[in-house]
Amino acid sequence: MKVIIINKKHKKFFYFVLVLLILESFFILRTPADFLKNEVEFNKLENTDNSNFFSTDIGFEAIYHYIIITKESFVFSNFQLLIAHKSQYMNATIVTIEEILTNQSFWVNGTYGDATNKSNGNPFIDDGKEVTHNFDLFNDTEAKIRNFIRYAHLEWGTKYVLLGGDVQTIPVRKLYVNISGWDAGFIFDRSIEGWIPSDLYYGALNGTWNNNFNEKFGERGNSIEDDEADLYAEVFIGRAPVDGKYDIATFVKKVIGYETTEKPNNVLLHQSNLLPVRIPDTSKISEKCADYIPSSYNIKRLYQKNELIDNKKWASSFREPDKLLVLHIGNGYFFGPTNSWYQLYYNILGRGKFLNTDIGLLSNEFYPLHISISCMSGNFVFSDCLAEELLLWSEGGPSACFFNSEVGCVKKENVIKYSGEFIKFLFFELFQNGTQNLGKINQYAKEHFSGDIHIDPNYRWVYFETNLLGDPETPAFEIRNKLPPSYVYVDDDFDENTSGWGVTHFNKITDGIESSFIDGFVYVYSGTYNENIVIDKTIHIIGEDKNSTIIIGEDEKNIILMKSNASSIKNFTIKPNQNNKNTIGIYIPIDSWGNTIENNIIIENSLSGIAINGSCRTIIYNNIIRSNCNGICLTKKIEGLFEKYIVITCNNMIEHNEIALNSGYGIYMQGVLNNHIIRNNFIDNGGGSLKDAYFYLSRGNEWNENYWNKPLTEPKQIRGLWGPLYPPIIDFSDGIIFPKLKYPFIINIGIPRSDKDNNPAQSPYDIK
């Protein structure tokens, strides 16, 4: 237990600092719209979805250089932190989809709609070019969002828009391209056509993108003047492809982390073959990019022609040392949610693939920019495309992806042409032309061949398909200031006589949580806290010492309920009151992703030490989980024979824990896929080694280097029921050239089989 003592001569200074901290926190968490409109008064964030606190009513005359467009239910999220961070440098705010869709100014016949021309107040539509029929095509959500961005650009001076959601939140306009002589297959030329997901539509605001008012937006004309596409953006667009608050927390963490960290002077260039033989030589693309990298940078070349590149080598190359930028050159594809990949090597024996299920291997602390030429790895229309998984993995991977939403384009006779050319210009804009912001880098790289796209449709294809999954305003090299962190302190000896009582100092952890801001810290001094705790917002609770900072649950329920995203709890002993008989130490319910449980002692719970139900990306690290019924339970409720959905890339990380003397299972997993159980001690659970671990309708899990009661001379067998089954069908809706796998149903049937820990530890780890 620790008591803060303040000398009299320091008391005035303490109160002065305290007032500053309160005011600072107040200002950080309000958007510019809240100040200027003076709509509400508040001094802390409650766990409520009242979006009036945080979004800007359309029509208010103010200047916002940066806008996040998202849905109402995402307003109260870590997007607020991003707005606060950006507001240190420019005016920034959030606008909701719901506001946009109900404002008739943004409908097809509204002031900024495509059926209104210059003479009637819309400067973006020339007279005679306005829509005159098929109005519904120009009155969908995509059109209304674009019309709002027109308004924001004109009235607010907006230059950067972050689309805050995947296509279920912010739909994408698909642009049409037809190529009569596509030769990237290297076997024979063929005709292809595609409707390409492209966020360029939202940033290039002139015209309707559809002069003949048919279903094909962005068709080629005979000249630039006749072209349907507007190639020059007034507003720079990026997308956060998020579908939940965990995704938002991860995205914001990476953006702010990149912007506030000193940039490493290391660049990784990769090369793999497009065919099993090294024809054409794709390293020419990487070397052309290298020409633009200043000599002060260290270039790491990871080329297939020089060495075999496996998944672990690829993952380690992100962090050893940290990279500013990672370039990937090679094939890729989206065959389905379990098979989205890009290629690390390709030879006569086959391909080396880095799949979306491999992202758990990434553990870099600096989040680089990532560029890839691979096909469809950035097609965010599909759930679990590789770029999304890389971007939204909280423990590593990139902070921004410049990826293709369709197949990449190369030329047999000149491998640098088309997609390689665009990548070359990304490097030019980044390193040579002084272009700072990621959205501008993406756009200006395209504009180098804007004059060619009505002549050669391959350029049009590339122009449309390269999207930025990342923040468009992020400066590539500037090091920005971090927001001051928010702290509160808890000690069981604090009372009303303690300075800061009821504001920053409390004697209950629950009160400290209630008074904390999003992403704030609650420091808990040694003592005994008899309470059940609910964590209902992103927050970090840190005990002074896990042996002497003790939480004892008062009620027969979850001692700690983590119904939040990206929160953490560290350095506690967590146990029930001795009279309670139905307890779980830490319970994480459905849709509470990305939480961290670290360095705790979790003991004597009659149900489970840790139970996670339907949530993923939890980090369970360096805990002692002992003398419970079950140690750790990872489950998803199974409903009948046919499942509605399943998370393919769950990626819970259970590492370096002591899981011992639990009367039931050490670890029990049900209905969860692709988890990592590594370097743990399993000791005498369930009275024997057969109950150390068990899985039911679970698959794709990694077991590695765990200690299993005693030294083993052969792989450890982990019993279970492998499943569920999701048989694929081949989908040719994009043509026979571009097949995909679809999974029409998930069957809750399993096959008895064992997983293996092929590298069992020979002695227990020292976990204290």
What is the overall mean pLDDT for the chain? 87
Dist. CA 469–CA 336, nearest whole Å = 20
Q: DSSP string of 4-40?
A: ----HHHHHHHHHHHHHHHHHHHHHTS-HHHHHHT--
Confidence bin at 556 (pLDDT 50/70/90)? confident
State the angle between helix axes of 245-260 and 79-86 in degrees (0 to 180), rounded to the nearest 10. 30
Q: Is pLDDT larger for residue 186 or for residue 276? A: 276
Return the pLDDT at 18. 35
Q: Is the pLDDT of residue 232 over 90?
A: yes
Quick one: pLDDT at residue 405? 94
Q: What is the per-residue pLDDT for 582? A: 84
| Tokens, residue 518 | 């999003």
Please, are residues 249 and 78 in contact by the beta-carbon 8 Å criterion? yes
Q: How confident is the model at residue 3 (pLDDT cuts 50, 70, 90)?
A: very low
CA quadruple 672, 677, 680, 684: dihedral, nearest 10: 40
Q: Quickly list DSSP for 170-217.
A: S--PEEEEEEEEE-TTSS--EEEEEEEE-THHHH--SS-S-TT-SS-B
Whether 632 contacts 667, CB under 8 Å: yes
3-state SS assignment for residue 250: helix
Give 168's contacts (C-beta < 8 A, 6+ positions apart).
Answer: 243
Domain 249-460 has CATH 3.40.50: yes
Higher pLDDT, 609 or 616: 609
For residue 674, CA distances in Å to 359, 700, 731, 758 come to 10, 4, 25, 17
Instruction: Check whether 187 has a pLDDT greater than 60.
Output: no
Q: How much of the chain is in helix, strand and coil states, percent to nearest 5? A: 20, 30, 50
DSSP state of 58: T
User: In the prediction, which pLDDT does 734 show?
Assistant: 61
Q: In one letter, which amino acid is 328?
A: H
Q: Is the pLDDT higher at 674 or at 668?
A: 668
For the segment 631-653, the average pLDDT, to the nearest whole number, is 78
- Across the strands, what pairs with 352? 345
Q: What mean pLDDT do residues 457-483 have? A: 95
pTM: 0.86
Location of structure tokens 């395209």: 446
Q: Which of 243, 193, 198, 247 is nearest to 379 (CA)?
A: 198
Q: Could you tell me the two tokens for 547?
A: 């042996």
Nearest partner of 618 among 603, 607, 634, judged by Cα = 634
Which three-class secondary structure state does DSSP give residue 717?
strand
Three-class SS of residue 328?
strand
* Lowest-pLDDT range of 11-15, 53-57, 466-470: 11-15
pLDDT of residue 373: 95
Instruction: State the span(s) of the chain assigned CATH 2.160.20.
Output: 488-757
pLDDT in tens, 134-180: 999 999 999 999 999 999 999 999 999 999 999 999 999 999 998 87
How high is the pLDDT of residue 2?
A: 30
CATH number for domain 488-757, candidates 1.10.10, 1.10.3470, 3.40.190, 2.160.20:
2.160.20
Q: If pLDDT is split at 50, 70 and 90, which confidence band does 522 have?
A: very high
To the nearest 10°, report the CA torsion of 673, 676, 586, 748. 20
Instruction: Please tell me the predicted confidence (pLDDT) of residue 422.
Output: 96
- Delimit the CATH 3.40.50 region(s) of the chain: 249-460
Q: Give the per-residue pLDDT at 32.
A: 28
d(CA 531, CA 540) in angstroms, rounded, equals 18
Query: Would you state the structure tokens that stand for residue 453, as one six-digit string?
Result: 């796209």
CA atoms of 562 and 554, how far apart (whole Å): 17
23-71 tens-digit pLDDT? 333 333 333 233 222 222 222 223 323 333 345 555 555 689 999 999 9
Radius of gyration of the chain (CA): 27
CA distance 163 to 387: 16
Q: What is the mean pLDDT of residues 628-633?
A: 96
Give residue-wise pLDDT tens across range 693-731. Answer: 999 999 899 999 999 999 999 999 999 999 888 777 777
Backbone angles phi, psi at 506, to 5 degrees: -145, 165
